[in-house]
Amino acid sequence: MAQNVDPAAAGSGAAWKGSDSGTAITRGSVSKRLQQELMTLMMSGHKGISAFPESDNLFRWIGTIDGAAGTVYDGLRYKLSLEFPSGYPYNPPTVKFLTSCYHPNVDGEGNICLDILKDKWSALYDVRTILLSIQSLLGEPNVQSPLNVAAAQLWSNQSEYKLRLHEAYARQLKS
């Protein structure tokens, strides 16, 4: 796929006459924003988070987050995918765990239940904010709104939860 092409818009073509220039302008402004965010993230020096465009496509990124110190996720590293729509930053990116993540707010497909990625999204958020929020969510799940009910029920027993978490993490490393 061509550089800086929105994957959602790539297959649609020019369905409406005259829409090409507006789409190109939108993609250009989103590309500019994403380039700025990449530079900001690279210069921020935040330990435990990183993200870079996948290949030459600014609309698809691969991110990593390390589990925060003092949490059961300490020492674990997770890979995520971030896909930015043509309406970014007014519409949130789609963010999923690529590394299997045993967590109350993450399902078996890697989908994340986090309000800032849904109804609480703001154009003020950026990739750094998203990654920091997910990193924070690891240690502070919302067990009242679980995607993984078993993990949510086990959360109150931290020693048992940590054992289950590390078993699941080790299994996924072997596969």
Of 108, 109, 105, the C-alpha closest to 146 is 105
Is there a catalytic annotation at residue 113? Answer: yes
How many angstroms separate the CA atoms of 73 and 103, rounded?
10
Q: How far apart are CA 42 and CA 39, in angstroms?
A: 5
- What pLDDT, on a 0 to 100 scale, did the predictor assign at position 23? 60
Identify the active-site residue in 30, 113, 130, 138. Answer: 113
pLDDT number for residue 3? 45
Alpha carbon separation from 43 to 23, 36, 47, 162 (Å, rounded): 30, 11, 11, 33
Residue 13 pLDDT: 38
Going residue by residue through the chain, which has 175 residues, state the pLDDT in tens, using 9 for 90 and above: 444 444 444 444 333 333 444 566 667 899 999 999 999 999 988 889 999 999 889 999 999 999 999 999 999 999 999 999 999 999 999 999 999 999 999 999 999 999 999 999 999 999 999 999 999 999 999 999 999 999 999 999 999 999 999 999 999 888 7
Please report, to the nearest 10 degrees, the dihedral formed by the alpha carbons of residues 112, 9, 121, 64 taken in order: 50
Cα–Cα dist 174/170, whole Å: 6
Domains of the chain from N-terminus onward? 25-173 (3.10.110.10)
The pLDDT score that the predictor gives to residue 173 is 86
End-to-end CA distance of the chain: 29
CA atoms of 39 and 46, how far apart (whole Å): 13
